[in-house]
Each structure stands twice: as C-alpha cells, then as structure tokens.
Amino acid sequence: ENKKDYSTHFLLAEGGRSHKTIISVPRAHPYSTAIVMGPTRKRARIGNDDECREGKVAGALSAPDPDLEPFVELPFRGEHKKAVSAVSFAPINTTRVLCATSSADGSARIWDIDEVVNGGAKNTLESESPVQLQPKSVLYGHNGKGINDVAWSSSGEYAATASDDRTGRIWDVEKSTALIELKGHKNFVFTCRFNPRSSLIATGSFDETVKLWDVRTGDCVSTIVAHSNPVTAVDFNTDGTCIASGSYDGLVRIWDTATGECFKTVHAELNPPVASLKFSPNGRFLMAGTLDSKIRLYDVFHNQSSTDGSQPRGGKCAKTYQGGHKATRFCSFNAFLTANPDRKCVVTGSEDGKICLYDLQKRNIVQVLEGHTEPVLALDAHHSIELIASGGIKEDRWVKFWMPSNLVDRDNN
C-alpha cells in the first residue's frame, strides 16, 4: 500500500505485534533540520539525544539486595489461542486486581487475580504445575482480526482496543459488550490510550496518523498527521494536556491535545524505530523503548540550550537502560515498577524470552526473570502492588504473573 522508498522491514503484520507477515516501511531519515508537521503547519523543534551524554549507560548485573526478595513466577497463568499482544492492569482505584490482555486471536480477556494475589487461594511455590485461570470476561468484536493493544479507562469500567480491522472499540468490561466502534483509520490500528479523564481516546495507526475520539459519541474530534511511518505508540501525560506519539520513523513527538500542534520532537542517534512510550508517574519524564535494544528516559519538558543561538532543542535524555534485554525486531512494552520505594525499576520484555528489571536510578540490571519460551512483547507492572504481568508470542501464548517470593507463600510463613 505504501509506495515509499523501502529499505527495511517492520515485523508486525495481521494478527498482533508479532505477525507472520512482513510489512515494509521506509528507512528512517536523519532529520537534521526542522520540518513542517501537523495540521497547524508549524515548525517542530528537533532534538537529538547525543547518545545520552547527560546519562551515560549502565547495564551490569548488580548483586541482589539481601533485604529484597527476588521476583518469582506465580503458580497460575492465563492463556490465549494465539500470540499475546498487550497486557494492562486495571487502574489503582478499582476494588479488585484485574488484568486485561489482547491477542492475535481476535479477543481481549479480563483476568480477575485478586484472590490469588491477595492470599485467598492456597497455591504456593511448591505447586507441581501452574493453575490455568479462567477469564472473568472475553471481549469479541473485531471481525476476527487480531487485537494489538488494550487500555483501561480511569474508572476501570471501560476498556478500549485497537485492531487490525482498522478500528478501535470501547467496551463495557462488566457486561463484555462493545459500546462504540471508532472508525476512520485507513490501516491497522496499533495502539490506543484513554486520557486521564477518560473523555478522549487516542489511537495510532499504520496510516501514520494519530486520531482523537470523543468517548461519549465515538466521533473523531482531531486527526494529527503525525509521522512518516506507522505509529507504534501513544500516551497522554498525567494531566492530559499533551500526547506523545512514537513511530517507526524513529521520532518521538509531543503534541498539544487541544490544538494538535507539535511543540517538541526528540530522537536518538541513527533514528532507531520507536517501539513503546510511557509517561512516568510524575508526568515529567517519557520512557521510550527503541529497536536498538535500548530504553531511554527523556525529560521532555526540559529545553536544551542550542549552540547556534536558534530555538531550544527537544527534551534531554536523562537515562539509558541497556544490556539486559534484546529488542531489534518486535515492538514490546516497557513499564515503571514503583510500588515499593526500595525497589523502583524499569521493566521490559525481551526477544530472548526473558524479562529484565533495571534499577530506575542506577540503571544497572536488578534481576532477569525466566519463564517464557518465546519473545515477551506484552508487559505491565501494577501501580500499587509489586506485581508484573507478561505475555508470550508464537507457541508461548501464556499470560504469566510475577511477584516477590515472600509475598507468594506468605500464607505458609
């Protein structure tokens, strides 16, 4: 469908984040000068992270903290019929611990793990085989096409999905019914997020646009011509005034939600494709996973001083995490693990089937979790509990959960 000059391949295709088909996209551009972007046709400022000079990388495996128990796989798991594309924990204000997952099998599933996480079940680490969970609800409705992403509303009552059928959908989680179909994209819809008030949904698509939708009516209220390649990630900041978008073109852009104007653009050297984005809990930093096996933490509201007297450049790269995970082919998720103030981490899946925990401040590898047999693309960390969810692809279609070992068998202590 795209007639641009192709020089690389985007391994994403019909049915999820790890597709069997190969979709070609054009090479990343150097973007050495300002470019014209967006409906307002304003000039966007370009900032390179200069290999993150301000936060030099660190990737050594540190000695375990004797006061902190290591994460272990919990003795229960969920399952999809095909690759797991995304996992997402329900918001902190929900009364139970719920996790939503999406899959190339065309479904999104809601898992109620409250009892097993909070000690109601008697499963322990000594269980001979994991208990297979049954979903609380299953959401079908994208004409059998793969679902690439799932997101919760702030109340936990609703979920949004993004699909290869070129639509997004809003669901009543309790009733397992689709309420609104979001139609308007011209290619696969790859990512979706509610704003903090849950009045808007942002979707990103292979048609290179970001669309904003009114949650009440399903009307598209804004279309942002965002990138020159497929949009792989979107996220709102904590007050909803800004939207971040990432793309296979290697750029991260920050947009004004109200006007659609791009007011900041950042990119890493050589423009590695952007795989994921997530604002930090305080809203100041933006975490960007890229397909050069690195995760960068940008201070997106920091203006770097330019050397030529021109406008300030884009956000400063404060930290880089690398050495413990592999990300070169697939778009995988990253998460902030901050429930325990003594163990604040950046968590990411890896194409070697592992999960890596980096110390948020020191950037060293805290722990590497092993349990999946295929690449781990789907990953999330709970907001208030030391709890991680992960999902595998290909033949490993399991949804797995991880907690510190002292919390798993506490009933037996």
Strands (E), 237-342: 242-247, 251-256, 262-267, 274-279, 285-290, 294-299, 316-322, 334-337
Looking at residue 26, its pLDDT comes to 36
Are 245 and 219 in contact, with CB atoms under 8 Å apart? no
| The pLDDT of residue 313 | 52
- Helix, strand or coil, per DSSP, at residue 334: strand
pLDDT at 31: 25
Other residues' Cβ atoms within 10 Å of the Cβ of residue 249: 25
Asked if 392 and 84 touch (Cβ cutoff 8 Å), the reply is yes
Q: Are 267 and 46 in contact (CB under 8 A)?
A: yes
Structure-token pair, residue 350: 């890896």
> pLDDT at position 350, please?
98
In terms of Cβ atoms closer than 10 Å to its own Cβ (0-12, 13-18, 19+), residue 58 is middle
How distant, in Å, are the alpha carbons of 163, 209, 379 from that of 382? 24, 30, 10
How far is Cα 35 from Cα 124, in angstroms, rounded to an integer?
57
Residues 6 or more apart whose CB falls under 8 angstroms from that of 274 comprise 232, 233, 246, 247, 248, 250, 251, 252, 288, 289, 290, 291
Q: Which residue has the tokens 């305080």?
A: 282
> Are 222 and 204 contacting, i.e. CB atoms less than 8 angstroms apart?
no
Q: Give the Cα separation of 48 and 128 in Å (integer).
A: 51
- Within 8 A by CB and 6+ apart from 168, the residues are 160, 161, 162, 181, 182, 185, 189, 192, 201, 203, 213
Closest by CA to 15, choosing from 182, 181, 162, 177, is 162
| Nearest by Cα to 383 from 75, 70, 152, 201 | 152
pLDDT number for residue 94? 80
Residue 91 tokens, joined? 């918001």
- The per-residue pLDDT for 100 is 98
Q: Quick one: pLDDT at residue 16?
A: 52
- 110 to each of 96, 153, 192, 296, 386, how far by Cα in Å? 12, 14, 17, 31, 20
What are the pLDDT tens digits along the chain (413 aa)? 433 432 233 344 444 564 433 343 333 332 222 222 233 223 233 344 444 444 444 567 766 677 899 999 999 999 999 999 999 999 987 889 999 999 999 999 999 999 888 764 444 455 568 899 999 999 999 999 999 999 999 999 999 999 999 999 999 999 999 999 999 999 999 999 999 999 999 999 999 999 999 999 999 999 999 999 999 999 999 999 999 999 999 999 999 999 999 999 999 999 999 999 999 999 999 999 999 999 999 998 876 544 554 444 557 899 999 999 999 999 999 999 999 999 999 999 999 999 999 999 999 999 999 999 999 999 999 999 999 999 999 999 999 999 999 877 544 44
Residue 162's closest CA among 97, 103, 75? 103
DSSP code of 70?
P
* Amino acid code (one letter) for 29: H
> What's residue 66's pLDDT?
74
DSSP 197-258: TSSEEEEEETTSEEEEEETTT--EEEEEE--SS-EEEEEE-TTSSEEEEEETTSEEEEEETT
Token duo for residue 309: 């007297």
How far, in Å, CA of 128 to CA of 32, rounded?
Answer: 57
Q: For residue 254, give the nearest of 213, 205, 207, 303 by alpha carbon.
A: 303
pLDDT for position 92: 82
69 CA to centre of own chain: 26
